[in-house]
Amino acid sequence: MRKRSKQFVIRLSESEWNHLNELVKESNLSRESYLRMCINGLLPRPVPTKELIELIEILREIAENMNQIAISVYTQNTMDKSFYMENYEKLQDQINEIMILIRQPINMEEVWQLQKYGQ
């Protein structure tokens, strides 16, 4: 681990302090880690939403099922069509859900803050 022996004091207004704490909370980092990343030219991203994490888990399950189907077809030269169609439909539903999430309108206040702080 690197030794960090230098420190400095920075004074912030109440609104700057609140904004920094909000960004830190969204990133799930410590305030120090967040600021070190910014100093190094990196902009921490917010932690993915619970919905996105759940979606990824569902997609992984579907991928595993599809892999099992492929193995079955390869080894036995047969396929359970209903199992395949069920997973295909789940995959399509999840893709549709992702498309809805990424097409949701963005709050203009968030866009302004992104532009203001160079994100």
Q: 84-100, pLDDT tens digit by residue?
A: 888 888 888 888 888 78
Residue 36: partners with Cβ closer than 8 Å, 6 or more residues away? none
Q: pTM (2 decimals)?
A: 0.51
Residue 32's CB: how many other CB atoms inside 10 A?
A: 11
Query: Is 17's pLDDT higher than 90?
Result: yes
Handedness of CA 54, 95, 102, 29 (dihedral sign): positive
* Whole-number Å distance between alpha carbons of 119 and 45: 9
Tens-digit pLDDT profile for residues 20-60: 999 999 889 999 999 998 888 888 888 888 888 888 888 88
